[in-house]
Amino acid sequence: MALLPVFLQDAFVVARATVFRGWSGKDPWLRTTQVSHVPSCIGCDAMARKGKREKSIWAGAFQPFLLLAGGVILTFVTVLIVLYTSLGRELESEFGQFHLSQHFRGLRRVQSAVLGRVATDATSQPSSPAAMSQRPAVIGTGFSTTFAGASAMHAAPEMWPALEGGRAGVVILAHDRPDCLARCLDSLVAQPDLALVASVVSLDHPASFRKMEAVVEKYSAKFKIGVWHKPDDASLKVAVAKIAAHFKFAISQSFEVAGFEFAIFVENDLTLAPDFLWYFRLTAPLLLRDPSVWCVSAWNDNGFRELAPDEHRLFRTDYFPGLGWMIRNSTWPMLRDSWPAFPSTGWDHWMRHGSGLKPRDCIAPEAPRTRHVDSKGTNVKAGTPILKLLEKMATSSLPHGQLHDVTYLLREEYETKIRKLLQDGELVRSLDELQAHIPDKVPGRYHLIPYVREDFPGLAKKLQLYPGQPRGGWRGIIFSRHPQSHALLALIDRRQGEGLLPENELWRADPGNVITKAQPGQSCEMACSKAGLRCDPRQLEFANNCNALKQHFPCENGCGHQVGAEIPCYVHDMKRDTALQCLVTDESAPSCASMHPATTRLCMCTPAQNGGEQLA
CATH number of 412-505: 3.10.180.20
Grouping H, G, I as helix, E, B as strand and the rest as coil, residue 223 is coil
389-414 burial, b for 16+ CB within 10 Å, e for fewer? bbeebbbbebebbebbbbbbbbbebb
Distance CA 371, CA 359 (A): 28
Based on its alpha-carbon atoms, the radius of gyration of the chain, rounded to whole angstroms, reads: 31
- Between CA 273 and CA 279 the distance in angstroms is 10
Mean predicted confidence (pLDDT) in 491-501: 96
59 versus 39: which is more confidently predicted? 59
Q: How many residues does the chain have?
A: 616
Could you report how far apart the first and last alpha carbons of the chain are, in Å?
Answer: 68
Instruction: Find the angle CA(132)-CA(133)-CA(139) to the nearest 5 degrees.
Output: 95
Contact 393, 368 (CB under 8 A): yes
Q: What pLDDT, on a 0 to 100 scale, did the predictor assign at position 41? A: 39
**pLDDT digit string (tens) for 202-238?**
999 999 999 999 999 999 999 999 999 999 999 998 9
- Signed CA dihedral, 31, 33, 38, 44: sign only: negative
Give the count of alpha carbons within 13 A of 243, CB side only: 18
Q: Which one is predicted more confidently, 73 or 508? A: 508
Apex 335 CA angle, 332 and 336, nearest 5:
80
pLDDT at 433 (0 to 100): 84
Tell me, yes or no, if the two domains 168-409 and 412-505 fold the same way: no
Three-class DSSP labels, 102-148: HHHHHHHHHHHHHHCCCCCCCCCCCCCHHHHHCCCEEEECCEEECCC
Q: Answer yes or no: are the C-beta atoms of 320 and 294 closer than 8 Å.
A: no
Quote the CA–CA distance of 241 and 346 in Å, as a whole number. Answer: 8
The chain-wide mean pLDDT, for the chain, equals 79
Angle (CA) 202 206 209, round 5°: 60
Distance CA 405, CA 285 (A): 11
More confident residue, 361 or 359: 361
Residue 358 — very low, low, confident or very high, per pLDDT cuts 50/70/90? confident
Contacts of 388 (CB under 8 A, 6+ apart): none
Q: Does residue 482 have a pLDDT over 80?
A: yes
More confident residue, 49 or 97: 49
Residue pair 319/468 in contact (Cβ under 8 Å)? The answer is no
This prediction's pTM: 0.74
Give residue 134's pLDDT.
31
CATH of segment(s) 168-409? 3.90.550.10
- pLDDT band of residue 468 (cuts 50, 70, 90) is confident
- Identify the DSSP state of 399: P
The residues pairing with 393 across neighbouring beta strands, listed in sequence order, are 304
pLDDT by residue (tens digit) across 238-293? Answer: 999 999 999 999 999 999 999 999 999 999 999 999 999 999 999 999 999 999 99
What pLDDT, on the 0 to 100 scale, is given for residue 386?
78
- Of 615, 217, 156, 180, nearest in space to 407 by CA: 156
The amino acid occupying position 120 is T
Nearest of 508, 541, 532 to residue 608 by alpha carbon: 532
For the chain, give every domain's residue range: 168-409, 412-505, 514-606
Average pLDDT over residues 484-488: 91
Q: Is the pLDDT of residue 125 over 90?
A: no
Render the burial of 458-478: b for 16+ CB within 10 Å, e for the rest. Answer: ebbeebbbbeebbbbbbbbbb
Task: Point out the least confidently predicted range of 144-148, 164-168, 315-319, 590-594.
Answer: 144-148
Q: What is the pLDDT of residue 555?
A: 97
Report the alpha-carbon distance of residue 495 to residue 548 in Å, rounded. Answer: 16
Single out the residue of 265, 254, 225 nearest to residue 167, CA to CA: 254
DSSP letters along 419-467, please?
Answer: HHHHHTSEE-SSHHHHHHHGGGPPTTPPEEEEE-GGGHHHHHHHHTPPS
SS3 of 8-73 = HHHHHHHHHHHHHHHHHCCCHHHHHHHHHCCCCCCCHHHHHHHHHHHHHHHHHHHHHHHHHHHHHH
Mean pLDDT within 476-481: 96
Q: What is the DSSP string of 339-376?
A: --S--TT-HHHHHHHTSS-TT-EEEEESS-SEEE--SB
- Active-site residues: which are they? 348
Q: What is the rounded CA–CA span in Å between residue 219 and residue 222?
A: 5
> Is the model's pLDDT at 365 over the cut of 80?
yes
At 595 the pLDDT is 97
The overall longest dimension of the chain from CA atoms, in Å, is: 121
Q: What is the model's pLDDT at position 614?
A: 40
User: What 3-state class would DSSP assign to 411?
Assistant: helix
CA-wise closest residue to 15 among 110, 143, 154, 135: 110
